[in-house]
Chain A
Amino acid sequence: MTPLVSIQDVHKRFGETTVLSGMSLDVRKGEVICIIGPSGSGKSTLLRCVNALVRPERGRITVSGIEVTAPRLDPIALRRRVGMVFQQYNLFPHRTALQNVMMAPISVLKQERREVEARARALLAKVRLQGKEDSYPGELSGGQQQRVAIARSLCMQPEVMLFDEVTAALDPETVKEVLVTIRELAEEGMTCLLVTHEMGFAREVADHVYFTDRGVIVEHGPPAEFFTAPRDARTREFLGKLL
């Protein structure tokens, strides 16, 4: 089976700094892939290459048959298939929770408002935000905002979700409510590519774990192996610091 997301030998640099020097990884449909690694190692840049927020200089990325690295890419076709959730939630502060979720399907996908609204309400209920539909982002806690952001991405009915350290800005109590939401998604079969520092979570949920350092993938493997018997010294050092 061809992978849903295929990243082959991707290189990226910003000016003088080389951020990615040849990363490759595949995500098959329904898989949950976790990427861990020290900050500055290029994890966010890699995720952003997948939905074309960043264009790599070299390498090839395909998502669900779409050639992301093609010179003439249709960004809408790509982005309706790829949802992305950020560390800082990035909700639209001038719109209510419900409006945040409904905006893109209506104005980008031109879907019918009634149908979108029903879906948006169901999604907000699913992320346990029933009753908060009319709240503005500024009136919600970090964890609640992040769950609105997840619902907003899901409302585009993507085939794969990218999560970039979505719990890093949250306080410990609210981390759990967001992780529960992501786990449920994973259990329903959503394909997920996530960058996280929550080792316990990665261990439980991931099908495969990648460790990155300075723009390369140092090692990868199934979580049981990866966490109990890391082969590379850098991985051991990194895991050692966290435990």
Chain B
Amino acid sequence: MLSLVIGVAGAFAQGSRFAPLRWFVAGYVAFFRNTPPLVQMYFFFFALGAITPTVPDDIGMEVPLVSNFVWALVALSLFAGAFNVEIFRSGIEAVPRSTVEAAESLGYTRLGTYREVVLPLAFRVCLPSLNNNLVNLIKTTTLAYAIGVPEMLYVANQIWSDSLNVTEMMNVLLLLYIGLVSLLVWLMHRWERAMRMPGYGT
């Protein structure tokens, strides 16, 4: 979800007249697209995690202000968000300039044009790629294992260490992931259908 917001905001910022903002987004996209997500997660958890303050928990132990779960969430969102920026940008570029002008000539501001015309159309264009990226994101969540977030692989590992049923657990795990991805794909398909534009064969 967060990665979608980043994608939309980033793509909007790239169309901005304020050059430093465009450079910042371009740098962000380049950084997160060209480094492995596992390295990013380590970077967030070990490098940034080490310099964030800690707070005492209810039994008096010092725990980090930002938990490993949040770090995983941030890292993964930024990672997927970088791809989404690019996906949305291509979608936005597919919206004809003349359609944008029609909105402007009706008095729409840049933000209004973006919200009511450009984004809805760009979404329709980039849904398939968006779909791919989100499926990838689900699969990438396994990496959170590396910084000790109890995601599915981690939980499965615990169960099999306890009871030596590795094969069964692997099967369950695969099925769970297939289930999760299918659910996403199904939701995206419904969304695609709901956004169909009659007469355009999409």
Complex formed: what's the CA distance from A75 to B111 in Å? 14
A130 within 8 A of partner (CB): no
B145 within 8 A of partner (CB): no
Stretch at the interface among A132-140, A186-194, A221-229, A232-240: A132-140
The majority secondary structure among interface residues of chain B is: helix
User: Which residues 64-96 in A have Cβ within 8 Å of B in the complex?
Assistant: 75-76, 79-80, 82-84, 86, 88, 90-94
Instruction: Tell me if A104 and B106 are in contact (CB < 8 A).
Output: yes
A156 within 8 A of partner (CB): yes
Residue of B nearest to A139 (CB): B199
Known: A92-B99, A136-B198, A136-B199. A51 touches B121 (CB 8 A): no
Instruction: Tell me if A90 and B99 are in contact (CB < 8 A).
Output: yes
Instruction: Tell me if B98 and A90 are in contact (CB < 8 A).
Output: yes
Q: How far is the CB of A87 from chain B (nearest CB, A)?
A: 9
The interface size of chain A toward B, counting residues with CB under 8 Å, comes to 31
Residue of A nearest to B108 (CB): A108
Known: A88-B98, A90-B98. A107 touches B108 (CB 8 A): yes
Name the A residues within 8 Å of B197 (CB-CB).
93-94, 136, 138
Instruction: Tell me if A137 and B106 are in contact (CB < 8 A).
Output: no
Q: How far is the CB of A230 from chain B (nearest CB, A)?
A: 32
Complex formed: what's the CA distance from A103 to B99 in Å? 14
Instruction: Tell me if A156 and B107 are in contact (CB < 8 A).
Output: yes
Name the A residues within 8 Å of B200 (CB-CB).
93, 136, 138
B117 within 8 A of partner (CB): yes
12 new A-B contacts, CB < 8 A, other than A90-B99, A107-B108, are A53-B105, A79-B105, A86-B101, A90-B101, A92-B102, A104-B103, A108-B106, A108-B108, A135-B198, A136-B198, A138-B200, A153-B106
Supply 8 A–B pairs (Cβ within 8 Å), ascending by A. Answer: A75-B109, A84-B102, A88-B98, A90-B102, A92-B99, A94-B195, A136-B198, A139-B198
> Which residues of B does A touch, CB under 8 Å?
96, 98-99, 101-109, 112, 116-117, 120-121, 124, 195, 197-200
> Which residues of A does B touch, CB under 8 Å?
51, 53, 75-76, 79-80, 82-84, 86, 88, 90-94, 103-104, 107-109, 135-140, 149, 152-153, 156
